[in-house]
Amino acid sequence: MTPFDRIISCVRKLPSLQFGLKWFPNLEPHVNNNADLPPFGFPPDATEVSDCNQMVLRNAMDAMDALGDGCQRILEIGVNRNGDRSFTRVIADNKRASASYLGVDTEDRADVEDVATKRWFLKCNSHEQDTVRARLAELGMNELDLILIDGWHSVNTTVNDFSYGDMLRVGGMVVVHDTNAHPGPVALFDAVDERVFEKHRYCTAENDMGISTFTRIK
C-alpha cells in the first residue's frame, strides 16, 4: 500500500458542522490528529514542490484570471517554505499588480511583504482565526479568490485552514499541497462536500507530494 492508501485506511468519519465538510476525518487512534509528518513515510525520491505542483497553482490562477475579475484576493497559509520553488514565489510572479495577498505563518517571513505590490504578511498561528480574519478585513479582503494551504499538515490544522473557505466567492478556489502523503491533506480530500466544492487531485505520481484543488460551486 502507498502512504496515501495507508492514511485513507485509517480514516474514521466523525460528525462535523464545519462549512464545506461532510464529516471530520479522524485518524486516531492510528495517527495523532495533531501530527504533521507522514506517518507511513514520504513518497520515494519526492521533490518537496514539483514542477507539476507549481503548474497546478499557475493554472488555477490563470483560470480565475480568464473569468473576468480574476484572482484578486489571495490568502496563503504556510509562507515561503521552499525558497525559489515555493508557492509564495509562484503567487508573487503570477498575480496581477492589482491583486492583494496576505501570507500567514508562525515563523517570521516578513521579507515577503512588499506594500508597493500589495503583498502583506502576518506572523500568526492560523488557528487564531479572529486575528487572521481581522487582518483580512483591514486589507479589504472580506471575500477571497484563492486560498493556498501548505502550513502544518496535521488533520486538526488542515481542517482548520480549510475552514477559511467560507470566505471564498463562488468560483474561488482552495489549493492544498501534500495530498499524497501528509496526514491532514490526505484525510481532508474525501471529507470535502462535493455539493459545495468541485474537487480534483493532481500530481499523483508515486514520487510526488501531490496537490489538490477545491473550487467553490455554491
> Left (φ > 0), alpha (ψ -120 to 50) or beta: where does 140 sit?
left
d(CA 163, CA 173): 13
Packing angle between helix 183-191 and helix 155-162, nearest 10 degrees?
Answer: 50
* Domain range enclosing 200: 3-216
Tally of structural domains, the chain: 1
Q: What digits encode the pLDDT tens for the residues 75-103?
A: 999 999 888 899 999 999 999 999 999 99
Give residue for cell 509528518: 37
- Supply the pTM of this predicted model: 0.97
Q: What is the pLDDT, as a whole number, of residue 67?
A: 65
Residue 201 cell numbers, joined: 487531485
Find out whether 154 and 35 touch, Cβ atoms under 8 Å.
yes
- Cα 111 to Cα 121: distance, rounded to the nearest angstrom: 8
Listing DSSP states for 37-105 in one string gives S-TT-PPTT-BSS-HHHHHHHHHHHHHHHTTSS-S-EEEEES-STTGGGSHHHHHHHHS-TT-EEEEEE
| 209 alpha-carbon distance from chain centroid | 13
At residue 24, the pLDDT reads: 98
Pairing, β 119-123 against β 197-202 = unpaired
**CA distance readout (Å), 143 to 43, 46, 110, 113:** 36, 35, 23, 20
Distance CA 157, CA 176 (A): 12
Q: In the chain, which residues have pLDDT < 50?
A: none
CATH number at residue 7: 3.40.50.150
181-208 per-position pLDDT tens digit: 899 999 999 999 999 999 999 999 989 9
| CB-facing half-sphere around the CA of 56: CA atoms within 13 A | 26
What sign results for the dihedral spanned by CA atoms 9, 76, 52, 192? positive
How confident is the model at residue 73, as a pLDDT?
97
Q: What is the DSSP string of 64-80?
A: HHTTSS-S-EEEEES-S
pLDDT of residue 69: 67
pLDDT at 82: 86
Cis peptide bond upstream of 29, omega within 30? yes
How many beta carbons lie within 10 A of that of residue 115, not counting itself? Answer: 7
